[in-house]
Structure 1
């Protein structure tokens, strides 16, 4: 039986030759995971039993099984037990290189701010795969490292700016997880000094009482984001929508960002709304309306599995061709990079084929759209050369 992620038409076969720049992903695990860890990586739920049965019985589950099937040449459909057995025979680095090659991924922009102790760094990913990997720095993680060692609240601004400046020298973009912390309703200006002082005093008091450092105060999140943009106006990625229960879903709608989007327009900063599902149509409208707003589907294209063509079509109802970027948001498991790439290629072919058949666009336009989303939009957004430079 044909693997559902394999090219199913002449157009799909030709699209398979278009390289992909994965503009938002993470590292792969350093150690080969056991079965429980593999299953934990296939759900956003902190308890995989939220699925009641197994995460492999889901849209993501059948998608990742199909992706590994193409990477390793397994017979389709790939059963859950065959998936687990086959992947266990390969070291993470080997499976990673095979996954990128199968998916046609030629560049990676890597968010290093999530569980960095468990996963390979960009230089290690590049060494394992031969694919250039550049860094995206997470602002909340930078601030939390500063706060962990901060002596007095009055020293915060200078210490944060110095840390951001160091990070910006090696990074191509910032990332904020405000949606996981205080919500996306960021103010249209930096917080007042007294409000920031209160937030800092509170978090340092919690730190000193042994509760650790986690930035969740809206004023503090806003201060961090605004300070970073003043230090170096790199493109700024925001997590939007789909995620684990830490996502403040009621305050995670992309429309919450509209005052901030308008406020930063004169600063020359480009914003990227990541994932966006189930708010992808609203995010597409923001990309349509504002010159400095870009979007992707990221995690959503993998998590919806067979439904990816429908979700991509909904995004492209309003998103301009020049504002949508490809990403996988893969973390931990190497085959997730393959799933993101192969699922996106399948979705793009499904979107383009009726446009061609019905005479809406010519073939050259179809391939232009595919190239724009695959890598050209990201190159323009982050002002990068192609091929990407190696580290």
Structure 2
């Protein structure tokens, strides 16, 4: 089965937040494992979040990258991490992911690697994806009023379009027409009067305004919407705008996202680490891989390993069932792993 992925290019991770800079203690590591496992609150008494699928995956795939045997005790693993130092351990882990290009969401808080820092650590390339809500929040922190805020937001957005690889929106829904100027001005004034410094806009009118403004730049736009079916009208309305849209839904809505990608020529969908849920729903050239990682470099390792192994199993089944030949399976894997992302985000033109 390993032969099915021979020749696969370095992965393109189309969405993550960056890795932590410094040492990660047991408590912080457990917190990140809890998030990866989808849990809230502490582990049940007498247990640990290493007792989860995410924890098992870390123990399986990460120790060998640091010179240890797979499945070593968590305490031994973290001791080895400290022994090597955060800088060296992070480099070994990131360089062992198989990821060659990272697209980082710009809304990430302090303490995580910037695109340049992640690229150096991984010996790869990294590009910024500008989160629209974060851009608006930064602009509002220095704007003196509604008119200044709207003018500066437009300026900042088009300035970002010259250097960013893509924009990202967290709008949960969007109409099939942009909001009117008066409606936007009223919503902006209401938000500016009530907001605190650093607070991003949650008003749906401002979300629609930012999203339609990003579409006008022509850059690809990531749509981080829990249920992408709420964006169906917007997807249809943007079909002739000459812009690619990438759906990054909650994990349990990946199938409908893939179905929407199959419906609209300019729409693509994220497969996360479980491509089997989506490859039956859309053409292979409409699907892209991401880790969604935030925090320890181990989460990049785990997500990449899970994706590759899932593709190996799926393509192995397809070859065994006569759906395709091994060479075709390798080409499909390469498309989802990197090829589609390189095309959609124009990474070859950016030498990424």
- Per-residue deviation, 1:134: 1.3
Deviation readout 1:41-78 (Å, 9 max, x if unpaired) = 22336954176643222222211222212422432334
Moved more, 221-230 or 364-373: 221-230
1:197 aligns with one of 185, 196, 215: 185
Instruction: Give me the whole-angstrom Cα distance separating, in 2, the residues matched to 1:61 and 1:109.
Output: 25
Q: Summarize the alignment of residues 57-136 of structure 1 with structure 2, pairs less than 5 Å apart.
A: 57-115=51-109, 117-136=110-129
Take 1:317 and 1:376, find their aligned partners in 2: how far apart are those partners?
A: 18
Match of 1:20 in 2: 11
Where do residues 191-270 of structure 1 align in structure 2 (5 Å cutoff)? 191-207=179-195, 210=196, 213-230=199-216, 232-240=217-225, 252-270=226-244
CA 1:211–1:26 in 2, change beyond 3 Å: closer, same or farther?
closer
In the alignment, the residues of structure 1 paired with residue 289 and residue 84 of structure 2 have an alpha-carbon distance, to the nearest angstrom, of: 27
- Relative distance call for 1:162 and 1:186 in structure 2 (3 A) is same
2: CA distance, partners of 1:237 / 1:138: 9
Mean alpha-carbon deviation: is it higher for 359-368 or for 85-94? Answer: 85-94
Structure 1 counterpart SS, 2:314: helix
- Larger displacement relative to structure 2 (369-378 or 196-205): 196-205
Of 307, 313, 327, the residue aligned with 1:364 is 327
Match of 2:317 in 1: 354
Question: How far apart are 1:106 and its partner, in Å?
Answer: 1.3
Contact kept in structure 2, 1:322 and 1:377, CA below 8 Å: yes
Contact 1:190 1:226 in 2 (8 A): yes
Query: 1:265 and 1:346 mapped to 2: Cα distance?
Result: 34
Provide structure 2 residue ranges, at least 5 long, that are not aligned to the other structure: none
Q: Partners in 2 of 1:156 and 1:66 — Cα distance?
A: 50
SS at the partner of 1:40?
A: helix
Instruction: Please say if residues 100 and 106 of structure 1, whose CA atoms lie closer than 8 Å, have aligned partners that are also in contact.
Output: no
TM-score relative to the length of structure 2? 0.91
Under a length normalisation based on structure 1, what TM-score does the superposition of the two structures give? 0.83
How far 1:16 moved relative to its partner? 7.6
Distance 2:99 2:91 in 1: 10
Distance, in Å, in 2 between the alignment partners of 1:22 and 1:265 is 25
**Number of aligned positions between the proteins:** 349
CA shift digits 1:95-148 (9 cap, x unpaired): 333223322211111112121x21121112222232111111111100011111
Identify the residue that residue 293 of structure 1 maps to in structure 2. 267
Alpha-carbon distance, 1:233 to partner: 1.3
Of 21-30 and 131-140, the range deviating more from structure 2: 21-30
| Distance in 1 between residues matched to 2:7 and 2:15, nearest whole Å | 20
Per mean C-alpha deviation after superposition, the further-off stretch among 145-154 and 91-100 is 91-100
**Preserved contact between residue 284 and residue 318 of structure 1 (Cα < 8 Å):** yes
**TM-aligned CA distance change 1:221 to 1:90, over 3 Å:** farther
Deviation of 1:80 (Å):
3.0
1:36 aligns with 2:27: yes
Give the superposition deviation at 1:93.
3.5
CA distance in structure 2 between the aligned counterparts of 1:380 and 1:162, rounded to whole angstroms: 27
Segments of structure 1 that go 5 or more residues without pairing to the other structure are 1-8, 179-183, 241-251, 302-310
Provide the alpha-carbon RMSD of the alignment: 2.2
- Cα distance per residue 1:345-375 (max 9 Å; x no partner): 1000000111111221011111110110111
Q: Is the 8 A contact 2:97 2:304 kept in 1?
A: yes
Q: Are the counterparts in 2 of residues 17 and 104 from structure 1 also a CA contact under 8 Å?
A: no
